[in-house]
Amino acid sequence: MQQHGIGAWVARRRLKSPDQIAIIHDRSPLTYGQFADATDRISAVLRERGVGKGDPVAYLGENSPELLEVMFAAAQVGAVFVPINTRLAVPEIAYVLADCGARVLIHDPDFAVPVAAAVSAARTPYVIVNGDGTADRPGLAYLTRAAAGLTDHADTTHEDPAAIVYTSGTTGRAKGAVLTHGNLTWVALNCVVDYDVVSTDVALMISPLFHVASLGMGALPVILKGATMVIEKGFEPGRALAQIERYGVTMLSGVPTTYQLMADHPAWASTDLSTLTKLTCGGSAVPARILNAYEARGLSFSQGYGMTEAAPGATALPPAMTRVKQGSVGLPHFFTDVRITDAAGAVVPTGVVGEIEVAGPNVFPGYHGLAEATAEAFTADGWFRSGDLGHLDADGYLYITGRLKDMIISGGENIYPLELEQLLTEVDGVTSAAVIGVPDERWGEVPWAIVTVREGASVDTATIRAHLDGRIARYKLPKNVVIVDELPRTASGKVRKADLRARFGA
């Protein structure tokens, strides 16, 4: 057997740096040797349940060592890791499980209730709780204590699928982006090169690892280099500041909201941040007030642009260019290419706005079970069509100018209006609906619903949110509902969202 995928990484780390600390969590630190041993035991648990090459293994839980151990264990047996957003509602979880055909779901105890409902709908064969479990339903910790470590890893190549990461769907349903072992390897290498990751780094993981940004551009390059991760279950600004000082954190990734909340915390001024050398920020542009607050402490950012389909990095702006190229999302990553094309697919000159297209070994091969959507996502010569608008300057730096798609980015989470619009029209009294992103100082953007209602109907923000709550993730809930007499439309009947943004989005 030859393991050329990411499944070989932890075993090779055990060989090269067994005593180096891999993970610091709320329990005892894990060395790379212990990390690899735990991964081997989970591999055995999966194999005992018939998990083999190509079988999806889903995980629903907060940041923990087990999330990473399950991912690498799945890779070792040739299975496909499916991280599930913990903020999804029961119908959304059920959809992901059914769509990918998960053979096994491993989940945190806190999600037992939604899991029971979702699994019943999706008919997932094996469900394992992360922990000891009960006598009649032993959990992952119990099962792994009794398991002999698996040593015969599956034969994998860089072309084999390693993960399916679900993106919010523009057609009302999430799409599963298939990421290969090669995609994840090359995105990690891009980060090692462009962010200068070294084995002595200490990375504080405060962003959810079920997001490909935290996983592909945070955890993977750290493990590849044999550095250390401090894994936090969630983000709390005061605790994050304390952990930076306690462990001498050198690397931190987040979205603008993350950094703003830390800078606003009472402990900000007194916390020793002298070890921080690598700050990366994505999701949306970093506002000037945040840049100012961090530069006052001698810190600067690497900003970037990407998408799940690129695993996810496409570009990075070096810290030294933050002010020189303010507003830019940077240059293409080392092993990635970016170009701008017009509506006909022709590459446009420097400075001309067009659609951003991305190519490289980190770009995914397609969507799970969606051949038509995959074909539409790529050009005839193999470039991924991002759906975003931008231009390149004379030095090759990318600037985002808009979106062909109407995606809203709120606190680093992607929200697609059509999904909400379809649900809004189910509300009694609502006759039509449009959802737009409105600028928000804290979250970057928040969704607003613009609706028309039946005469005499009683509809307001509370009504709308109550109808949607539990059916979609809470971050997708409209922050405001505006009732209008009619929605502006084109001659063909399409809503003119640009008009709505001009009216309500200022």
- Helix, strand, coil % over all residues of the chain, rounded to 5: 35, 25, 40
pLDDT value of position 493: 63
Counting beta carbons within 10 angstroms of the beta carbon of residue 413, is it exposed (0 to 12), middle (13 to 18) or buried (19 or more)? buried
What stretches of 396-454 adopt beta strand conformation (E)?
Answer: 398-403, 408-410, 413-415, 430-440, 444-453
pLDDT value of position 282: 84
Q: Beta strand 354-359 with 301-306: parallel, antiparallel or unpaired?
A: unpaired
For residues 23 and 35, the answer to whether their CB atoms sit within 8 Å is yes
What is the number of alpha carbons within 13 Å of residue 304 lying toward its C-beta? 27
pLDDT value of position 172: 57
Provide CATH code, domain 281-403: 2.30.38.10
From residue 83, alpha-carbon distances to 28, 87, 162, 307, 496 in Å are 25, 12, 11, 16, 36
pLDDT value of position 355: 95
Give the CATH H-level superfamily of domain 408-504. Answer: ANL, C-terminal domain (3.30.300.30)
Stated as kind and residue range, the H or E segment containing 56 is strand 56-60
pLDDT value of position 168: 66
User: Which segments of the chain belong to CATH 2.30.38.10?
Assistant: 281-403
Residues with pLDDT less than 50, the chain: 1, 170-171
User: Phi first, then psi: what are they for 133, rounded to 5°?
Assistant: 75, -150
pLDDT value of position 119: 94
For residues 454 and 417, the answer to whether their CB atoms sit within 8 Å is no
What stretches of 266-425 adopt beta strand conformation (E)?
Answer: 278-281, 301-306, 313-317, 331-332, 337-341, 354-359, 366-367, 384-392, 398-403, 408-410, 413-415
Tell me the two tokens of residue 303: 């900003």
Per the DSSP assignment, residues forming a β-bridge with 340 are: 356
Distance CA 119, CA 241 (A): 38
CATH architecture under which domain 1-15+29-156 falls: 3-Layer(aba) Sandwich (3.40)
User: Which segments of the chain belong to CATH 3.40.50.980?
Assistant: 1-15+29-156
What's the distance, CA 179 to chain centroid? Answer: 13
pLDDT value of position 505: 77
Peptide bond into 114 cis (omega under 30): no
For residues 254 and 281, the answer to whether their CB atoms sit within 8 Å is yes
pLDDT value of position 170: 43
The total of other beta-carbon atoms located within 10 Å of residue 483's CB is 15
The backbone region for 459, taken as left when phi is positive above 0, alpha when psi lies in -120 to 50, beta otherwise, is: beta
Alpha helices in 386-471 (DSSP H): 417-424, 461-468
Alpha helices in 111-236 (DSSP H): 112-122, 140-145, 181-194, 212-214, 220-225
For residues 77 and 151, the answer to whether their CB atoms sit within 8 Å is no
User: Which segments of the chain belong to CATH 3.30.300.30?
Assistant: 408-504
Stated as kind and residue range, the H or E segment containing 252 is strand 251-254
